[in-house]
Amino acid sequence: MKPLKVALETLGCRVNIYDSEAMMELFRADGYEVVAFNLKADVYVINTCTVTNMGDRKSRQLISRARRKNPEAVICVVGCYSQVAPEEIAALEGVDIVLGSRNKLRIVEFANRSRATGEQLIEVTDVLTSQEFEPLEVRDYKDHTRAFLKIQDGCNRFCSYCMIPYARGGISSKDRQQVLEEVHELVDHGFKEIILSGIHIASYGMDKASKEAGLLLGKDRGYDLLDLLEELETVEGLLRIRIGSIEPMFFQGERLARIKRLKKLCPHFHLSLQSGSDSVLKRMNRRYTASDYEKVVNALRREIPDVSITTDVIVGFPGETKEEHQETVSFLERIALTKTHIFKYSPRQGTPAASMPNQVHGTIKEERSRELQSLSNKNEESFHRGMVGQDHQVLMERWDGQLAKGFTENFVEVEIEAKEDFSGEIINCSIMEAKTHSVKGRLRQ
C-alpha cells in the first residue's frame, strides 16, 4: 500500500518555518510522504501569515491552488490567519480543517479524522487568555544547513499597527529542558549553527513556567534568554548560535557584558527600529526613542568586534509628515546600519493604527520606500567594503558546481569559487571584493 502524501506551504516568519517543519515531522511519523506543494497530495497544509493584507490574499490563493490540484484532498489551514479569522476561512470552498496558531500539535489526528469522515473540523484556542507554549519539536531539518529552534511564542507589546498579539497570543516560553534536548538532537544530526527564534524572543523566561524553572535552578529570578545562551555555550559540537529579531532595549546594563563573553553567539543582531522619528514611534506604541536605540547601537559596536546590525522600518505610517520621514532618513544616515528592511505601512483591521487619521497615500509610501532602499543599499555596500581584506568563518549553504555561497558570523553572504561542495561546512575565507548585497571571497587553506 502506497503511503499517503502531504504537501505544505509556509507563509511568513521564521517561527512559521519552524512550526511547518514540526508539523511535517508529525506527518512523517504517521507514515505520510512529504511532497512539494505543486504535486498531487492527499493532504494540503497551508501555514498562514496575517501580518499584512497580502499575507491573507496569498493564503486564499494557496487554498484555491490546492483545491484545483486535487479536489478530493483534505485542505488544512493553520496559523495566524486562521487564528484571527476562523469563520472566514472555514467558509472558503474546499477548506476541511481550520487550526489556530497554538493548535498545530494535533494536525495529523485532525487530517486523518477528516479524511475518514469528511467532516469540517475547527479548533482555535483563545490565545489572549492562554500562556501555554505548544510543545512542537523539530529533530532534523530537510535541505537546510542551519536549524531554526523556536523557543518563545506570543507578544504582550501591542504596537498600534500590529496583529501579532491577537494572532499569536501572550508570551510563552519553551521548557528549558526541551530546548536543550532539541539542541543536542540537532547537533547530533550535523547542524553546526542554530537560530533561536520567537515572536518576542527577548521575553523568553518572563512567563510563569520559566520563572518557576529559574527558582528550581537556585536563581532568585526567572530563567531567561541570557541564561539559555550561556547554557548553550557548553553544548559540544554546536559552533554557532544566532538569535532572531530582538527588542533593542534588551541590550542594556549587565546584559551587554554577559553577551560580550559569549563565544558562540554570532555578532549579528536584528534590532527592529520601525521609525527614526520619536513622534511616529510614540504613535506606534514603541517603547523607546530614537536616542535610546542609538545608544544601544553604539554600545554594541563598542563592545562587539565586527558586529552587524540590521533593522526594519515602516514608511507611511498614519500621519507621517514629510518632516517625520526626514527625521528617519537623517537618523539612518547617521547610525549607518548594515541593512534596513523597508515595509510600506499596510492597515490591519482591528488595530488602532488602521483607524488613525491622515492615512498616507500609496504614491508617497512608494517614494519614501525607494528613498530608504537607496540609503540602505549605500550603507550595506559601505559595510561590505570595510570587510575587504578580513578573514571570516563562513558556513557554506549551496554550490552550483562552480560558485559556493554561505554566510559569515555577522551574516554577510559570501560567494567563492569552489571545485567541491562544502555545504554544511564552516570554512575560512578571505574577503576580496565588496558588492551591494554580498561579498566575494577566496578560500584559505
Cβ contact 334:290 at 8 Å:
no
CATH topology of domain 273-385: Transcription Regulator spoIIAA (3.30.750)
> What SS3 class is residue 320?
coil
- Cα 64 to Cα 205: distance, rounded to the nearest angstrom: 40
For residue 103, give every residue at least 6 positions away whose Cβ sits within 8 Å of its Cβ, in sequence order, or none: 78, 123, 124, 125, 134
- What are the grid coordinates assigned to 379, written together? 550603507
Cβ contact 271:293 at 8 Å:
yes
* Measured CA distances, 407 to 114, 232, 393, 411, 426 (Å): 43, 21, 8, 5, 9
- Cα 285 to Cα 193: distance, rounded to the nearest angstrom: 34
Q: Closest by alpha carbon to 200, among 151, 163, 240? A: 151
- Cα 208 to Cα 121: distance, rounded to the nearest angstrom: 31
C-alpha R_g of the chain: 22
Q: 131-244 and 391-443 share one CATH topology?
A: no
For residue 174, give every residue at least 6 positions away whose Cβ sits within 8 Å of its Cβ, in sequence order, or none: 133, 135, 150, 151, 152
CATH topology of domain 5-125: Rossmann fold (3.40.50)
The pLDDT tens digits of the residues spanning 110-136 come to 999 999 999 999 999 999 887 789 999
Predicted TM-score (pTM) above 0.85? yes
The number of CA neighbours under 13 Å toward the Cβ of 206 is 13
- What are the grid coordinates assigned to 247, written together? 527588542
What's residue 52's pLDDT? 84
Amino acid at 184: H
Cβ contact 430:444 at 8 Å:
yes
Cβ contact 441:393 at 8 Å:
no
What's residue 208's pLDDT? 64
What's residue 219's pLDDT? 57
Angle at 206 between CA 204 and CA 212, to 5 degrees: 105
- What are the grid coordinates assigned to 433, written together? 571584493
The pLDDT tens digits of the residues spanning 131-169 come to 789 999 998 777 788 999 999 999 999 999 999 999 999
What's residue 315's pLDDT? 98
Mean pLDDT in consecutive groups of 10 residues from the start of the chain, 445 residues? 94 93 96 97 97 90 96 97 96 97 96 96 91 87 86 95 94 94 95 96 81 56 90 97 95 92 97 98 98 98 96 98 99 98 94 97 98 99 98 95 95 95 94 98 88
Cβ contact 47:41 at 8 Å:
no
- Cα 3 to Cα 285: distance, rounded to the nearest angstrom: 50
In order, the DSSP letters of 248-298 are GGGS-THHHHHHHT-SSB-SEEEB--B-S-HHHHHHHT-SS-HHHHHHHHH
Question: Which residue reads 561546512 in cell numbers?
Answer: 425
Give the domain ranges of the chain: 5-125, 131-244, 273-385, 391-443
Q: Which helix (H) or strand (E) holds 372?
A: helix 362-385
Is the domain spanning 391-443 CATH 2.40.50? The answer is: yes
Amino acid at 271: L
What's residue 222's pLDDT? 76
What's residue 218's pLDDT? 53
What's residue 378's pLDDT? 98
Q: 3-class secondary structure for 84-123?
A: HCHHHHHCCCCEEEEECCCCCCCHHHHHHHHHHHCCCEEE
CATH of 131-244, one of 3.30.1330.10, 3.30.930.10, 3.30.750.210, 3.40.50.720: 3.30.750.210
What's residue 217's pLDDT? 55
